[in-house]
């Protein structure tokens, strides 16, 4: 058996490593002519880190990531609502990493090149055709490839998904635009805190470190979210403008962090709409299936985009390894992963982790409080967080087991 992996992003590269570990031949085909250092921060929850460590990548990841110790939730006044330990501080036996997207991609790419061989660049897939026991993968400006199985890891704008579901409508816009950037600054709070400030109806920001530097400073990833009726370009690397959102955050100056100052000192600004797609009822058609954003594009909430694509790859490699034939393996993979990821897509729309702050804002009318314990029981806030962990396969018992 051999597998054509269509797309050399996080999902495609991690799948290739999982397939190699399972003893299955594969080749990765990427559309761009050369990789560039793109994107900003990525959160890798323990359920994903477990798989990456199993692939022998711990030594490469640890020096270029920040091991997080705390999730903390604050109102837009900077008042702490709820906090909980994360990663090994919470009892997991693997860390929670925050890392620059480009560094994560580099680690995966170097491992693929060392273990499997070079990625085939300038191979933009246009469509796939099944002929007997083979799948022909057609590219725009490159010779056709063939394999026993084709896996579309070609992202939100997947050509293969469009081929398999030609009547699917446009992306679902959540009425929120996001601006993202990175800023080198002094540590705040524990120096290993993922801070979520505000709630999505009135505007939020998520800030966390993604790199420690020898001089004691850190590179911080930040995301600012604001409600909007206008959907910005659906491109992860579209340039944004500070003046389009900074005014909303001018008074977000707390004794533990000056948010507008952090924004103003950013290296760059990117703009992206809060978009996803409705879950579909089928990923697999014969010897072709979908993975990652091609299968389940979701709102970037809760740090689950990259994590779920890594879990997809783990499930797919196991299913192909253990199946009597490739078609049965793809069906087993879809049966395991599609129901769960469909639930996560819908939960990220309605009850993401920052629902914790939204609930408090609802109870207080957005006003300051004197004591959070007089507003809401901590057990209720903890239950919101635990429900999301269970849904995303991130509870401690599952990961450690």
**Cα–Cα distance between 182 and 176 in angstroms, integer?**
20
CB burial class (10 A; 0-12, 13-18, 19+) of residue 292? buried
Q: Are residues 11 and 107 in the same domain?
A: yes
C-alpha distance across the termini of the chain, in Å: 30
- Segment holding 151, helix H or strand E: strand 149-152
Per-residue pLDDT at 199: 85
Question: By residue range, what is the domain housing residue 215?
Answer: 174-276+352-391
Domain identity same for 126 and 184: no
| Per-residue model confidence (pLDDT) at position 230 | 84
Q: Give the per-residue pLDDT at 352.
A: 83
- pLDDT given for residue 128 in this prediction: 98
pLDDT at 197: 96
| Phi, psi (rounded to 5 degrees) for 289 | -145, 175
d(CA 230, CA 240): 14
Q: Are 39 and 101 in contact (CB under 8 A)?
A: yes
| Rounded Cα–Cα distance for residues 142 and 338 (Å) | 32
pLDDT for res 8? 97
> Contact 336/315 with Cβ under 8 angstroms?
yes
DSSP reduced 3-state for 139: strand
Instruction: Please check whether residues 358 and 322 belong to one and the same domain.
Output: no
pLDDT at 237: 81
H-assigned helices in 197-304? 259-264
Q: What is the CATH number of the domain that holds 267?
A: 3.30.9.30
33 and 137 part of one domain = yes
In tens, the pLDDT along 21-54 reads 999 999 999 999 999 877 799 999 999 999 999 9
Residues of the chain with pLDDT under 70: none
d(CA 294, CA 338): 12
Whether 158 maps to a domain, the answer reads yes
For residue 277, count other CB atoms closer than 10 A to its CB.
21
What pLDDT, on a 0 to 100 scale, did the predictor assign at position 395? Answer: 82
Residue of 10, 104, 2, 93 whose CA lies nearest to 54: 93
Domain membership of residue 398 (yes or no) is no
pLDDT of residue 112: 98
- Counting the structural domains of the chain, the total is 2
Q: Is the residue at 55 inside a domain?
A: no
Q: Quote the pLDDT of residue 185.
A: 97
Residue 396 lies in a domain: no
Does residue 77 belong to any structural domain of this protein? no
Question: Does residue 92 form part of some domain?
Answer: no
- Tally of residues, the chain: 401
Against a cut of 0.85, is the pTM above it?
Answer: yes
Residue 169 pLDDT: 87
253 lies in the same domain as 192: yes
223 lies in the same domain as 207: yes
Return the pLDDT at 242: 96
**Element holding 123 (H helix, E strand):** none
């Amino acid at each position: 058996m051999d597998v054509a992996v269509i797309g050399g992003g996080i999902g495609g590269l991690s799948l290739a490593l999982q397939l190699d570990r399972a003893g299955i031949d594969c080749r990765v085909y990427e559309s761009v002519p050369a990789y560039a250092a793109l994107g900003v921060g990525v959160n890798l929850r323990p359920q994903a880190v477990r798989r990456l460590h199993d692939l022998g990548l711990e030594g490469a990841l640890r020096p270029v990531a920040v091991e997080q110790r705390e999730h903390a939730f604050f109102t837009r006044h900077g008042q702490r609502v709820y906090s909980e330990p994360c990663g090994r501080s919470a009892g997991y036996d693997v860390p929670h990493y925050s890392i620059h997207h480009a560094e994560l991609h580099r680690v995966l790419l170097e491992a693929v090149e060392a273990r499997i061989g070079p990625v085939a660049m300038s191979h933009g897939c246009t469509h796939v055709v099944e002929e007997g026991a083979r799948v022909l993968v057609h590219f725009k400006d490159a010779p056709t490839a063939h394999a026993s199985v084709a896996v579309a890891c070609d992202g939100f704008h997947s050509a293969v998904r469009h081929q398999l579901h030609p009547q699917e409508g446009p992306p679902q816009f959540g009425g929120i635009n996001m601006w993202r950037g990175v800023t080198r600054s002094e540590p705040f709070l524990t120096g290993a805190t993922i801070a979520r400030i505000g709630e999505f109806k009135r505007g939020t920001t998520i800030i966390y470190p993604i790199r420690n530097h020898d001089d004691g400073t850190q590179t911080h990833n930040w995301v600012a979210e604001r409600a909007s009726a206008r959907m910005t370009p659906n491109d992860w690397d579209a340039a944004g403008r500070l003046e389009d959102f900074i005014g909303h955050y001018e008074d977000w100056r707390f004794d533990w962090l000056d948010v507008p100052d952090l924004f103003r000192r950013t290296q760059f600004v990117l703009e992206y709409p809060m978009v996803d797609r409705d879950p579909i009822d089928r990923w697999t058609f014969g010897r072709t299936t979908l993975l990652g954003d091609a299968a389940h594009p979701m709102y970037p909430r809760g740090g689950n985009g990259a994590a779920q694509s890594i879990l997809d790859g783990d499930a797919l490699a196991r299913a192909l390894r253990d199946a009597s034939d490739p078609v049965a393996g793809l069906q087993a993979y879809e049966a395991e992963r599609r129901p769960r990821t469909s639930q996560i897509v819908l939960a990220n729309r309605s009850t993401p982790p920052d629902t914790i702050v939204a609930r408090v804002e609802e109870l207080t009318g957005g006003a300051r409080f004197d004591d959070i314990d007089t507003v809401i029981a901590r057990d209720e806030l903890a239950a919101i967080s635990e429900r999301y962990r269970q849904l995303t396969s991130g509870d401690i018992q599952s990961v450690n087991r």
